[in-house]
Structure 1
Amino acid sequence: MNTSVGTAWFSFMICMILIGVAGSRLSRYGDAIAEKTGTGGTWIGLILLATVTSLPELMTGVSSVTLADTPDITLGDILGACIFNLMLIAILDVMTAGESLYCRISRGHILSAGFGIILTGIVGFNLMTGAGGRVPSIGHVGLYSIALIVLYAVAVRTVFRYEQLQRRKPPEETAERYPDLTLHQAIVYCALSSLVVVGAGLWLPFIGADLARVMGWEQSFIGTLFIAIATTVPETVVSIAALRLGAFDMAVSNLLGSNLFNVQIVAIDDLFYTKGPLLSHVAAQHTVSAFTVVIMSAVVIVGLIYRPRKRLFGTFGWTSLFLLALYMLNSFVLYLYGH
């Protein structure tokens, strides 16, 4: 028993390290591609970096519903990753010296957070109605998947158009950050890093299933807490690196953009899950996580509108404190369900 537990945790740590190292390389080469193609900062964080750093969630999800047949792990990973990303905004606020993070970033992030609420709300609604297998579907695919795909496209287009309207002045001349890399090299290295992330993502749900078995925990708890932490390592690395460079908007847009893409993964996984609509074959406690994402996204919107300047103990504002409290509350509730 102890050997099995040790092996499961060792495998989890190795997989997490692989995702972290490859994810950090992935973000560097993705940023280099962005610089050399002349694409804008917030847009890069929302689309390019958010997409590549969400590759672990994508591959873990596809592997969970096809090879491992663990749909609870895939949904737990998706929603848990969204919660963890929103909690990271509070961590970034704590790491920001001087003025609060919410005072330094664009109000345009309200659009991303708002669309995140809409998409996650659709998932939560169908989780509530899907318990009895009453999810409307076409074949084995739920109609909610079509809605998620359409709304994600609308969200991306709307945010892009908003950023274009806000960009009134020409870009400033800046020194090249990656003079040692050509565009071709950046693309090749980015692809190689992606392969490592893909491989680790395929392995992760099997590790999650082993952990649930040897520890006696529910798969929904494993997916939402441990697997989600592992698959959000790239987002963590990228956002902290962007914050240290002073790219506050890129740091936050990476996290909110990852959440939009993560919820979109529900639709992708639904296409691969052939036993019926995915949301009618998972545990009901995922609803708790879905509405935690909704509440935390709303808190971020309030922070972006109100822009709190005062910090408790000179460290973080009430908005960030609320985000941290919601993360802890969700983890505690799922722990109770998981046991």
Structure 2
Amino acid sequence: MIDPALPWLKLALCSALIAFAGPALVRNGDRIAQLTGLSRSWIGLILLATATSLPELFTGVSAVTIADAPNIAVGDALGSCVFNLLMLVLLDELSRRDPVYRRIDQGHILTAGFGVILIGTVGALILLRGSGLDASVRHVSVYTPFLVLLYLIAMRAAFDFQRRVTGTLPVHETDAGMTLRQAIGRYLLAASIVVAAGIWLPFVGVDIAEQMGWQTTFVGTLLIAATTSVPELVVSISALRMGAVDMAISNLLGSNLFDVLIIAIDDIAYTNGPLLSSVSTAHAVTAFTAVIMSGIFIVALLFKPESRIRGTISWISLSLLMAYLFSAYASFLLGH
């Protein structure tokens, strides 16, 4: 008889591997940027967010190609978007001097706005399932190129904005004697650990779902999404402690944009038809929750709340937390 604790031990091991390799990816990605002389602000948005989103990428691809678990792939990507926005609550709680939203540059509204567009589009496409409008060419949805185009437009807009605004990300010195070849080697080593854990995760998720009698939609949206978001969590907390609040926010919002690109990649890899037409409509709830949470964040950037409720939590963070809990409960009830 298989030990019922074994799947949970595997999940813990995956989390530990990602927690170890995620920060290493970021550190060496930053060294590569410095040694090549590329823009720190641009590399911060692209390389940092991409590095911390590698678990979602490889988890999604392996889920749709090897494990045949499309609900885990989509649940992981959209659940990670919601989980990334939930991290704002933790950052706010760790920022005891004043609400973290008062310390964030309003330029992040651009990235958050594109997040609303991209994630909202995914939610709408999920609702088109079986409507006759979910057309495809072979097994790939006709809307997948549109998602890729939207992502590229978002990156171009962010690049143009960052070029006009300086000082969004802090500059650090590289380690003495570090060469570009060494930085790339360490980056690839850390990436290989993330890839291995990412490929393993969907199988662990299926084992947990079968053992607990849970729906794969619920497992993908909560458990797997939380695990693959560990790098974002570690990096964001580290950035906050360094006083680089905007770096933490760029990482979270940039990861959300990349997660939508991952859904497009998963659709190409999934050969049983359009991916978003093959998953539970419960994922639309997760997508629109991420849209609502992004909207709350945009309001926070414009309003910049000064006080906390009974000195513990700001009303912005409380709203984000309530939206997340609603999404988790809805995913548990509606998923399959």
- Contact 1:44–1:250 (8 Å) recurs in 2: no
Cα deviation code 1:41-96 (max 9, x no counterpart): 44333211100110000000000010110000000000110000000012111111
Q: Identity percentage over the alignment?
A: 50
Total equivalences in the alignment:
336
Q: Mapping of 1:30-69 within 5 angstroms?
A: 30-69=29-68
Query: Which consecutive residues of structure 1, in runs of 5 or more, have no partner in the other structure?
Result: none
Question: Do the aligned partners of residues 121 and 170 (structure 1) sit closer, same or farther apart at CA in structure 2, a change above 3 Å counting?
Answer: closer
Which among 241, 244, 264 is matched to residue 267 of structure 1? 264
Q: Mapping of 1:235-246 within 5 angstroms?
A: 235-246=232-243
Q: Does 1:333 align with 2:330?
A: yes
How far apart are 1:237 and its partner, in Å? 0.8
Cα deviation code 1:206-239 (max 9, x no counterpart): 1111111111110000000000011001111111
Question: Do the aligned partners of residues 14 and 171 (structure 1) sit closer, same or farther apart at CA in structure 2, a change above 3 Å counting?
Answer: closer
Q: Which residue of structure 1 lines up, in the alignment, with residue 189 of structure 2?
A: 192
Equivalent residue letter for 1:142: S
How far apart are 1:171 and its partner, in Å? 10
Q: Counterparts of 1:39 and 1:99 in 2: how far apart (Å)?
A: 34
Q: Does 1:280 align with 2:241?
A: no
How far apart are 1:37 and its partner, in Å? 3.3
SS in 1 for 2:35: helix
How far apart are 1:170 and its partner, in Å? 12
- Contact 1:235–1:254 (8 Å) recurs in 2: yes
Q: Which residue of structure 2 lines up, in the alignment, with residue 228 of structure 1?
A: 225
Q: Which residue of structure 2 lines up, in the alignment, with residue 10 of structure 1?
A: 9
SS in 2 for 1:29: helix
Q: Does 1:313 align with 2:310?
A: yes
Query: Which consecutive residues of structure 2, in runs of 5 or more, have no partner in the other structure?
Result: none
SS in 2 for 1:204: helix
- Contact 1:239–1:252 (8 Å) recurs in 2: yes
SS in 1 for 2:4: helix
Equivalent residue letter for 1:207: V
Q: Which residue of structure 2 lines up, in the alignment, with residue 210 of structure 1?
A: 207
How far apart are 1:181 and its partner, in Å? 2.8
Q: Counterparts of 2:163 and 2:153 in 1: how far apart (Å)?
A: 15
TM-score normalised per structure 2:
0.95
Q: Which moved more, 1:130-139 or 1:233-242?
A: 130-139
Question: Do the aligned partners of residues 307 and 180 (structure 1) sit closer, same or farther apart at CA in structure 2, a change above 3 Å counting?
Answer: farther
SS in 1 for 2:98: coil
Question: Do the aligned partners of residues 26 and 170 (structure 1) sit closer, same or farther apart at CA in structure 2, a change above 3 Å counting?
Answer: closer
How far apart are 1:166 and its partner, in Å? 1.7
Equivalent residue letter for 1:122: T
Q: Which residue of structure 2 lines up, in the alignment, with residue 159 of structure 1?
A: 158
TM-score normalised per structure 1:
0.94
How far apart are 1:334 and its partner, in Å? 1.6
Alignment RMSD (CA, Å): 1.9
Equivalent residue letter for 2:151: Y
